[in-house]
Structure formats: structure tokens, C-alpha cells
Amino acid sequence: MKVKENWLKKGFVDEPIENNIDLKIAIKNLCKEKNAIIMAHYYQNKDVQEIADYIGDSLALAQWAKNTDADIIVVCGVNFMGETAKILSPEKTVLIPDLNAGCSLADSCKAEDLLKLKNQFPNHKVISYVNTTAEVKALTDICVTSTNAKKIISQLPKNEKIIFGPDKNLGGYINKTVGVDMKLWDGACHVHEQFQLSEILEMKKKYPNAKILTHPECKDEIIAISDVVGSTQALINYSVENDYNEFIVVTESGVIHEMKRLNPTKIFIPIQIQEDGIKKCNECKYMRLNTLEKIYNCLKYNYPIIEIEEEIRKKAEKSIIEMLKLS
């Protein structure tokens, strides 16, 4: 079917959906018919996590994308995750339900600006967080995720000069814990950057026995008072691997769905954020754009498709392969 003007404008397929359809069953049927799989990040809405064939953090999604033998991969996350899947599986069709699913980190680092910095510091290695565009990955020596960043950077010679981007908080955390002095890009995640130390201390007063679980995209002062700092997967693992019963979860609240599934009797307290006097649960506005309706339509009409220029893809692939080798 021809891509309609309206889809291009909106960034997703907005065709009406048949009445009385059970969307979860219909999506499963389409997947079977088209040999498609659905991969979802832990920050997806509960409904989306429930229909996914694979749920994981950004490292796991990249690894699954490389190894699947499906013909179509539907990536329910944000654009850079769809691009990572396409970079690793160029022969497959990679769909994402809504092209508006950006990322404040990826958006903060434009390839032309990174190129300028690279030219200014030609003897520096460029290490980029996976939350970057394909064009930025193409300028990168080694890609990392929050799961493997410390491990990979610890393996480099101590005197290696490094530009790290785009997350200044994750970069600062690695500088401190690994004992390196990387030049940091000035980017941050719109979700994690908003958490306030005062708010967390307030919650700790209310729940004195709760362990504070924090993603390294949070500010330094929050990391300093946390019991555990780790990637989405590391935080989930911690919630399972010990006997503590209460956790203050200082990251996107979608992760609590998996934590509760694995620990039905434990208590997980999400961080709330204050916005114009309204308490709001902390959700990534990009991740949460994906809905069952958009997933159904993208599978049915094969749109939006991720496409990457081959020259860029090949260069970007090198940085991800390097990461998979070292992690």
C-alpha cells in the first residue's frame, strides 16, 4: 500500500481500526502471518510490554535484533533503538510505531557538532552512548549502553583520551567510578534530569527502609545518596537478587511493571515530579507514544519503516560491533 500524505505528516499510520477487534490477538496474528517479532523496552506502557516477544534494556534489544531470524522487527521504544536494530540487521524490515518517538539525549547531539569537536581534538577516541542517531554512531569509535559503559571504558588504556557523549550525567558517573577524565558532551535526559535530591530525601523519610535504585542518567548528587546505581536491567536484577522489600525507583516508572512481575510481594515506589503544581508520574514522553493501535497499524501497513543510508549504516555498525565485542 502506498504511504499516505497524512501518515508522513503525522509520523504514524492513523487509519481507523475495525470495530470489536481484540488488538492483542490481532497483533499476534499479524506477527505470525508476517514472521514479525515485537521488541519492547522496559519503559513502554504495560499493554505494550504484555504483547512483546522480547522485553529488555537497550543492550538486550540490540543483541536480540542482531540474532533474530524474523523478517520484520517492530521496535517499541524510541527511534535510536529502531535505528540500532536496522544497523545490525540491514536485511530485515524494521518498523517503529511512531516516528515522533525521539530522545532528548539523541536530539542534543547533532552529527555536525560532534564532527566539529572531533576535529578540534583529533587524538581523542569518541565513545557514544547508544542513545544517539545513526549519523552520530557513524562518527563514533565505540558505542556503549548504561549496562556495559563502565566495563568497556575500564578496558581502555588509562591514558586514552576520550570524548564521551551525549549524557553528561552518565559520563560524570563513569569518570568518577572508573577514574578517567573524559571530555563530556553537555546533554541530559528530560526524565532523569528532573529528579530532585530534596524530593528523594523526602521519600526516604517516608519509607526509611526502602533502598534507593537509581539510573546513572540522574544527577551526581542523587547518585551519591543511592544504594544502587545501574542500568534498567541492573536495577531490575537487584530488586530480585536480595531480600529487601521496599524500593524507591529513581528512573522511568515503566520499569516497575517488570519489577512487580518478578517480585509480586515487594513494594516499588516511583518518583513523582512536580510540574506547575501538579504531581505527575515520571514517564518518558517519547517512549509512551507507542500504543497497541499504532503497533497494529504499523504491522498492517508496514509503516513507518526505518531506513539508513548504507554508507552511514556501515560506519555506525562498526561502533556497535566493537561494543558487542567488549561487553
Judged by the rule CB under 6 A, the positions of this chain that interact with ligand 13P are 57-58, 131, 145-147, 189, 217, 231-232
Q: Of ligand 13P, ligand SF4, none, which one does residue 286 interact with (CB within 5 to 8 Å by kind)?
A: ligand SF4
> Distance between CA atoms of 95 and 27, rounded to whole angstroms?
14
> Which one among 24, 190, 288, 300 touches ligand SF4, defined by CB under 6 A?
190
Q: How far is the CB of 91 from ligand SF4 (least distance, A)?
A: 26
Residue nearest to ligand 13P (CB): 57
105 near ligand SF4 (CB under 6 A):
yes
Residues 269-298 that bind ligand SF4 (CB under 6 A): 284, 286-287
128 interface partner picked from ligand 13P, ligand SF4, none, CB below 5 to 8 A per type: none
Contacts 24+ apart (CB under 8 A), 228-234: 229/173, 230/146, 230/147, 231/57, 231/59, 231/145, 231/146, 231/147, 232/41, 232/42, 232/43, 232/57, 232/58, 232/146, 233/42, 233/56, 233/57, 233/59, 233/60, 233/147, 234/146, 234/147
Q: Which stretch binds ligand SF4 (CB under 6 A): 153-161, 187-195, 199-207, 302-310?
A: 187-195
Q: Work out how close the CB of 284 gets to ligand 13P at its nearest, in angstroms, rounded to a whole number.
A: 7
Q: Which does 231 bind (CB under 5 to 8 A by kind): ligand SF4, ligand 13P, none?
A: ligand 13P
Task: From residue 99, give the alpha-carbon distance in Å to each of 48, 129, 133, 281, 298.
Answer: 17, 21, 13, 24, 11
HSE toward the beta carbon, residue 88, CA cutoff 13 A: 25
CB-based contacts of 26: which residues, under 8 Å, 6+ apart? Answer: 296
Residue 41 in contact with residue 290, Cβ under 8 Å?
no
The item of ligand 13P, ligand SF4, none sharing an interface with residue 148, based on CB under 5 to 8 Å by kind, is none
Position 191 contacts ligand SF4 (CB under 6 A): yes
Amino acid identity of residue 79, one-letter, is N
When CB distances are held under 5 to 8 angstroms depending on the partner's kind, the choice from ligand 13P, ligand SF4, none that residue 104 binds is: ligand SF4
Least distance to ligand SF4, CB of residue 209, Å: 28
Tell me: does residue 252 bind ligand SF4 (CB under 6 A).
yes
* Chain residues in the site for ligand SF4 (CB under 6 A): 43, 78, 103-105, 131, 189-191, 252, 284, 286-287
